[in-house]
Structure 1
Amino acid sequence: MHAYDAFLAGPEHSLNLARLQADFNREFDSPCPPVVVVARRLEVMLAGDQCFAIVAGNGHGLVGHALVTLRPTFYFDGPLAVLDELYVQPVLRGRGIGSALIDRLLQGLALRGSLELHINVDEDDTATRRFYEHHGFDNNLPGSDWQMLLYYQELPPTK
């Protein structure tokens, strides 16, 4: 076990979650809105019922997070879940923190009646793919050899 607890975050954790997300985006050279903007958006999202976050921390602050969004689906009664982000500070990786986050988010999804979780991973990110596969995730539908693909298109902002 590790010295970090994984627990459900509330809107009051928004600023710290936004800081962790900014660290994640910097690590991978990905664009990110300013921390205050992300914090404001997360505060609103976490106050509703279409999103939840699991955070890992100790008495000295947060060291990782998993952010899940939920949406209705006609395939089953519970929500379809998407793991939007999972991040653990680099110096703390390999200590079971990511696994604790996954375990707690799966418990949270079971309580919400979700039957499916989607995760998008870059093809060349073999360490992350290996992590998710270790936790039972697959990119093939049961009974199929075909890999699932994500298609993406940026849309122009609305005025």
Structure 2
Amino acid sequence: MPEDPRVLIRDPEPGDEAAWRHLWSGYVAFYEASVPEAVTAQTWARILDPDSPVFATLARLDGTVLGFTVSVLHPSTWTSAPSCYLEDLFVAPQARGRGVGRALLDDLVSRAKQNGWSRLYWHTKATNETARRLYDRYTQADGFVRYRLSFPA
């Protein structure tokens, strides 16, 4: 399917919560994960808090929210400018292949350049070939391997 030039990217507003939560549940299910309701509510609250380093963008097409990003802006030990970690990117299955993911990434790249961020980075599962085809259009995987320890809250 060709990219749709009508895809609009914008910051979330309080009234977008239901649409974001619907996509969020699809994202969590895609990764076969479980996120407690309290964490989901806290994530949404952080997204709306202008003092939080967590921020999001929404992709809309014909008035419907079809995708989102959630990112964290943080200091870096390797540069004096902040880095942006794109923690979550999701596009509704019915909207894939229409340029929604690309529009979300293009928006973050533009924000990075406009705001003087030192880098924008993300990761995905090695088996997520659909996402990797999009990501490879921006940059090649850097060869780092992720390690993660989890601790009960």
**Smaller-chain TM-score bracket:** 0.7 to 0.9
Structure 1, residues 113-148: CA drift from partner, whole Å, max 9, x if none? 2121221111111221121011x22222xxxxxx11
Q: Which consecutive segments of 4 or more residues in structure 1 shift more than 3 A? A: 10-15
Given the superposition, is the C-alpha separation of residues 49 and 76 from structure 1 closer, same or farther in structure 2, using an over 3 Å criterion? Answer: farther
Q: Is 2:151 the partner of 1:155?
A: yes
3-state SS in 2 of match to 1:85? strand
Report the RMSD for the aligned CA atoms in angstroms: 2.1
Supply the AA of the counterpart residue of 2:76.
Answer: T
2:103 matched to which residue of 1?
100
TM-score, normalization: structure 2?
0.84
Given the superposition, is the C-alpha separation of residues 152 and 88 from structure 1 closer, same or farther in structure 2, using an over 3 Å criterion? Answer: same
Tell whether the 8 Å contact from 1:79 to 1:112 is kept in structure 2 after alignment: no
Structure 1 segment 1-159 matched on structure 2, within 5 A: 1-34=4-37, 37-47=39-49, 48-134=51-137, 136-140=138-142, 147-157=143-153
3-state SS in 2 of match to 1:6? strand
1:143 matched to which residue of 2?
none
The structure whose RCO (Cα within 8 Å, separation 6+) is larger is 2
Q: Distance in 1 between matches of 2:39 and 2:125?
A: 26
Structure 1 segments unaligned to the other structure (5+ residues): 141-146
Structure 2 segments unaligned to the other structure (5+ residues): none
Q: Distance in 1 between matches of 2:13 and 2:117?
A: 20
What percentage of residue pairs aligned between the two structures are identical?
22
